[in-house]
Amino acid sequence: MNHQEQPGFVVWMTGLSGAGKTTIALILEEELRQRGLKVERLDGDVVREGLTRDLGFSAADREKNIERVTFVAKLLSRNGVACICSFISPYNSLRQHVKENVTNYVQVFVDAPLDTVIERDVKGMYKKAIAGEIPNFTGISDPFEPPIAPFIHVRTHLQTPLESAGKILGDLEDMGLIPPAVV
């Protein structure tokens, strides 16, 4: 599959903070590049440093954040780019908006139980949220609506990041969105 033949698509990874979205996205990005695909990775933390630094974490600001990211993903995917997006995107309505606006939307639920993500809490955010120091924190003081019917469901408390990425890659191959790995 050369660049002219590559279909654009959006792998939209949703899940709680600390579930493993960024770790898996980095593995996917590297593997897709090795397969010769044009790839862009949009990550919640990175996007908030540039594109959406003016936004907070209220429901309205989260919605605006996802709207802006969706616009970028729409442009990339319709131009034959594999776009890997890792955003908590806690509400089903937000994820539905993404689906309706991008090319070849593939929703991935990066799932880990709350106690697991609290244990993994490398940034100390859950500790602060539980103490009431961070308002509107998804999973603690703000809801996370699990996807109703994700295309791909990985359980990062039961799989390594490589196993989760392998499942996603296999499913993308089965959908005809990426070429099989050359062994």
Here the CATH number for the domain that contains residue 158 is: 3.40.50.300
Question: Helix, strand, coil proportions of the chain in percent (round to 5)?
Answer: 40, 15, 40
The catalytic residue positions are 89
Is 3 part of any domain? no
Is 17 part of any domain? yes
Is 182 part of any domain? no
Is 4 part of any domain? no
Is 121 part of any domain? yes
pTM recorded for the entire structure: 0.92
Total count of domains within the chain? 1
- Residue-wise pLDDT for 147-167, tens only, equals 999 999 999 999 999 999 999
- Residue-wise pLDDT for 27-73, tens only, equals 999 999 999 999 999 997 777 787 777 887 777 888 888 899 999 99
Provide the pLDDT for residue 60. 85
What is the C-alpha to C-alpha distance for residues 118 and 52, in angstroms, rounded to an integer? 26
In terms of Cα–Cα distance, which of 99, 48, 53, 102 is closest to 73?
A: 102
Residues making up the chain, counted from first to last? 183
